[in-house]
Amino acid sequence: MNNPKKQQIVSTARDLFWKFGFRRVSIEEICREANVSKMTFYKHFKNKDELVKYIIDFITGIAMKKYREIMDSDIPFTEKVEKSIQLKMESSNDMSQEFFDDFHKNASPELHDHFNKLVHANLNTIQNDYIKAQKQGDVRPDINPNFILYYLDKMLEMAKDENLMRLYKSPPDLINELTRFFFYGILSRKT
């Protein structure tokens, strides 16, 4: 954890993985760039897969911790959702397409599995929050929580769509529109 050599390895690997994905980066290259011998690498990680796991767990761990803080805070439900959407947008900006492509295209079965389980667990956490909100009356009772999960991903896609973006002054404007639509749909509020 706090071992400086291990940190160098992780930090260097992260940089290289973010640029090129993990398939294109060799262990020796990481060691060279991190000024660490290969033996030291193998002291800390069994192989490249374990390093990739470590990094992905670390990254998603931070994001999920932030998410939990939002959901456990004492603010109205709508604010929680707004903040969690905001977090999702920020986190995805911080991600590298090359890195995540490798999980689908070039990962070992074990790594692929680990990745899927992680994603699934996190989606589950989020889904449970929405189910809970539904029980507490914050979310319309006749909507499928699975659809909400699906739609949150679609929102990210839409937020990154350049053609859609052209209709708005700035990215936050588009995110606001998406968020309001997520809350209220298109109909005006009748009292």
Partner DNA sequence: GTAAAATAATACAAATATCGTATAAAATTA
Partner DNA sequence: TAATTTTATACGATATTTGTATTATTTTAC
Question: Which residues in this chain contact DNA in the complex, by CB under 7 A?
Answer: 3-5, 26-29, 35-40, 42-43, 47-48
- Smallest gap from Cβ 61 to DNA, in A, equals 23
Q: How far is CA 80 from CA 19, 67, 77, 152, in A?
A: 33, 9, 5, 14
78 binds, among its own copies, DNA, none (CB under 5 to 8 A by kind): none
Q: Which residues bind its own copies (CB under 8 A)?
A: 19-20, 24, 98
Residue 4 half-sphere exposure toward CB, CA atoms < 13 A: 1
- Smallest gap from Cβ 178 to DNA, in A, equals 40
13 binds, among DNA, its own copies, none (CB under 5 to 8 A by kind): none
Is 24 or 154 the residue whose CB approaches its own copies more closely? Answer: 24
Is 53 or 132 the residue whose CB approaches DNA more closely? Answer: 53
Contacting residues for 99 by C-beta, under 8 A, at least 6 apart = 17, 18, 21, 22
Name the token pair of 91: 């986190």
Is 29 or 50 the residue whose CB approaches its own copies more closely? Answer: 29
Helix residue spans in 35-96 (DSSP H): 38-44, 48-72, 77-93
- Smallest gap from Cβ 21 to its own copies, in A, equals 9
- Smallest gap from Cβ 117 to DNA, in A, equals 21
Q: Nearest-CA neighbor of 115 among 125, 105, 126? A: 105
- Is the separation of the CB atoms in 178 and 82 below 8 Å? no
109 binds, among DNA, its own copies, none (CB under 5 to 8 A by kind): none
Is 16 or 139 the residue whose CB approaches DNA more closely? Answer: 16
- Work out the end-to-end distance of the chain between its first and last CA atoms, rounded to an integer number of angstroms: 56
List phi, psi (to 5°) of 21: 75, 170
- Smallest gap from Cβ 8 to DNA, in A, equals 8
- Is the separation of the CB atoms in 85 and 155 below 8 Å? yes
Is 19 or 135 the residue whose CB approaches its own copies more closely? Answer: 19
